[in-house]
Structure 1
Amino acid sequence: MADLQDELHPTTEVGALDELPEPFVVAAPAPSPPDPDASPLRRARALLAAHPVADGYCGLLSALRGLPWYDLEMGESALDTDVPRLREGHVGALFWSLHLPEGTPAERALSATLDQLDLVRAVVRAHPEGLRSADTAGEISDARYCGRIAVLSGPAAAAALDDSLAVLRSLRALGLRVLTLSGTSWASGPGLTRFGEEVVREMNRLGVVADLSGASGATVRRVLAASKAPVLCARSGARALRPHPFNLPDDLLAALGAAKGLCMVPLAAEQTGPSVRDVADHLDHVRRVAGPASVALSGTYDAGVAHPQELGDTSGYPHLVAELLERGWPETDVALLTWGNVQRLLRGADFAARAAQLRRPPSTATLAECDG
């Protein structure tokens, strides 16, 4: 069904594929007329029932490794994330982080990432009534219509590539959807090297989305210029409101919006503040600077960070949406924030991949050839 849904979207001539066509800027469906007598929280739950949350960052895999036994469908009090609370929070899709534990040796990065990809499959297989693996926008929608929560693999650390494009292709074949471009010799403070640019081109060809959270300003600007597919920042708020190194200054937020990328604002107290209102302030700011089509949500649950009040676990999203509605956010913009913008980004990445595969074969470039 996912393939059929993807085919329903119009195509473009190969020679005109450097820019994504307007059909891939997904508009939110028209919401139902608001009930003037309903409370903001009741309105929020009704809106989320139609446009659930696509959560851009979940640290569940690392948290599960510390538990001797778990059942996510029954519920787990030791975690921030389980199926009952995901349903209560109206979460329809989750990106499961494959980031490595701090201090992982470089020579272990690839094998540790493979271990986590294997765990994704095992956890989803063990919870078939609640979870379903997904890779495309169509598969996410299919999971939702079947009453399941879609699970996507990524972001993973770029160190897992071991400076090999063949490894990138293998990880994509195993389901990797998002790669964080930082912490390597070819994506560092000065920006992308020639090999780094080749990595971005190959990611575009494969449909792997670039995550720029924590990347240097020079790297962010170069990736925005080089990438033919939309990119995201999986854990970035507004630096104008809180000076965290992962948060983005206004000039990069504006550039991200111009490139039709996505800033996924984290529900992490250290990045966005200790209250729902603080998180909403960041969402207001990103929406104003980058545009309503370039803002989304990133729970950062089970990632070892503290969360704002009323947002302590994945059931809390309705409280955040109620705050936005009280601030006067149009329901169409809320629908883009929670669901539509992630769908648009994934469709754009897949469209760019199909176009790139018509233009160029798999890259055989190496670090030594490009940067040696």
Structure 2
Amino acid sequence: MADLKYELDPSPEVGALDDLPGPPAGKASPSGGDSAEGPDTGLLDRAHALLAEHPVADGYSGLPWALRHLPWFDLELGESAVDTDVPRMREGHVAALFWALHLPEGLAGDQAVGATLDQLDLVKTVVRAHPEGLRLACTPGPITDVQHCGRIAVLPGPAGADAIGDSLGILRSLHGLGLRSLTLSGVSWASEAGLTRFGEEVLREMNRLGVLADLSGASEDTVRRACAVSKAPVLCARSAARALRPHPANLPDELLAELGAVGGLCMVPLTAEQTGPSVRDVADHLDHVREVAGPESVGLSGTYDAGTAHPQDLADASCYPHLVAELLRRGWSETGIALLTWGNVQRVLREADFTAREAQRRREPSTMKISELDG
């Protein structure tokens, strides 16, 4: 634990937010929503001030795949062809985000592995080309350092499970190249029937490496078994509340409760399809997930540049203050919002990092093959 202590964020603890200063002069943003429902300027001022202290750690961005189709782009100057660039992330107080490596349907086997490697290379290339705005950061300590330097931390992942084929060696290689999250669905060892014995071995090796398990879109049996097997917190990078909107990737209340019981994290996506067409709909999901899973198990996923429509007034990465203003209007405490935007993601990353350090002391890299466990 001593090693972990030195990586803790030196910024103010969320419990001390009651004395949070007001926003600097001239920081007010345009009001979100129509005049009857949108938050007033005072709430937006408070939202900007709070996010300046505890910015957003965004759980899912589809930017790598979107950038593949552009002949030229500059994310530091601003790029209108996508929903995410450095100016808009700074306006929205985004300090860290996961860049998803998910692939179009139809790619499998060696094609999926190769396409994932291409995307990892693209992520590194894009980050190197934008040194004033972006930094690659894969553990909690560097992520905090990047934030304090005024840059935005980029974490590669999640990738689809088919990115590793059936090889733990490929998983280790992808981790060595920067992968930090893997979605456990759509493969023979993580299917509607749940995790197989090999799937459990994959999860244990992910724990040993510090690769987070993303359970968005996974079957209920897979979610339950992953919660039981994993020694590190699991997350659902794009899941809202099925009780409010019956989307297949949204979680029923019993799974939300199980996720909260093991310290997992449900990251609510800002998409009209999963959460609804308005800021209030998104806030309803956040209220529900917080009530069922607990305040330390709810986070945010912009899901920008992933080919989905977004609620009104949440069109791009600059719009997080509108959502935070709505939560303040509903009576969320500053401490609760700080956990939602930054604290919960940092906790999950730190616990996964600590779990990996301990596992590496006790466990050698797994050499098991799918034929030996599931054959």
| Aligned residue among 187, 192, 204 for 2:190 | 187
Q: Corresponding residue for 2:80?
A: 77
Partner of 1:248: helix, strand, or coil? coil
Answer whether contact 1:238 1:247 (CA < 8 A) is retained: yes
- The AA in structure 1 aligned to 2:17 is P
Q: Corresponding residue for 1:28?
A: 14
Partner of 1:303: helix, strand, or coil? coil
Matched, 1:66 2:69: yes
Q: Corresponding residue for 2:33?
A: none
Matched, 1:122 2:120: no
Sort the Cα spacing of 1:337 and 1:360 in 2 relative to 1 into closer, same or farther, 3 A: same
Matched, 1:166 2:169: yes
- Return the alpha-carbon distance in structure 1 between the equivalents of residues 108 and 120 of structure 2: 18
For residues 39-90 of structure 1, give each alpha carbon's deviation from its aligned partner in whole angstroms, at most 9, with x where no partner exists.
1110000000000000000000111111110000000111100000000000
Q: How does 1:1-372 map to 2 (within 5 A)?
A: 6-8=4-6, 28-33=14-19, 39-372=42-375
- Return the alpha-carbon distance in structure 2 between the equivalents of residues 258 and 184 of structure 1: 27
Answer whether contact 1:27 1:336 (CA < 8 A) is retained: no
Give structure 2 stretches of 5+ with no counterpart. 23-39
Measured after TM superposition, the shift of residue 32 of structure 1 is 4.3
- The AA in structure 1 aligned to 2:338 is A
- Return the alpha-carbon distance in structure 2 between the equivalents of residues 35 and 202 of structure 1: 44
Measured after TM superposition, the shift of residue 104 of structure 1 is 2.0
TM-score normalised to structure 1 length? 0.93
Q: Corresponding residue for 1:20?
A: none
Measured after TM superposition, the shift of residue 95 of structure 1 is 0.2
TM-score normalised to structure 2 length? 0.92
Sort the Cα spacing of 1:304 and 1:360 in 2 relative to 1 into closer, same or farther, 3 A: same
Sort the Cα spacing of 1:309 and 1:227 in 2 relative to 1 into closer, same or farther, 3 A: same
Sort the Cα spacing of 1:326 and 1:5 in 2 relative to 1 into closer, same or farther, 3 A: farther
- The AA in structure 2 aligned to 1:199 is V
For residues 291-326 of structure 1, give each alpha carbon's deviation from its aligned partner in whole angstroms, at most 9, with x where no partner exists.
000000000000000000010000000000000000
- The AA in structure 2 aligned to 1:279 is V
- The AA in structure 1 aligned to 2:53 is A
Measured after TM superposition, the shift of residue 7 of structure 1 is 4.7
Give structure 1 stretches of 5+ with no counterpart. 11-25
- Return the alpha-carbon distance in structure 2 between the equivalents of residues 34 and 152 of structure 1: 29
Partner of 1:185: helix, strand, or coil? coil
Aligned residues: 355
Partner of 1:31: helix, strand, or coil? helix
Partner of 1:314: helix, strand, or coil? coil
Answer whether contact 1:53 1:93 (CA < 8 A) is retained: yes
> RMSD across aligned C-alpha pairs, in angstroms?
1.8
Measured after TM superposition, the shift of residue 38 of structure 1 is 7.5
Measured after TM superposition, the shift of residue 102 of structure 1 is 2.2
Answer whether contact 1:301 1:314 (CA < 8 A) is retained: yes
- Return the alpha-carbon distance in structure 1 between the equivalents of residues 229 and 220 of structure 2: 14
- Return the alpha-carbon distance in structure 1 between the equivalents of residues 299 and 189 of structure 2: 28
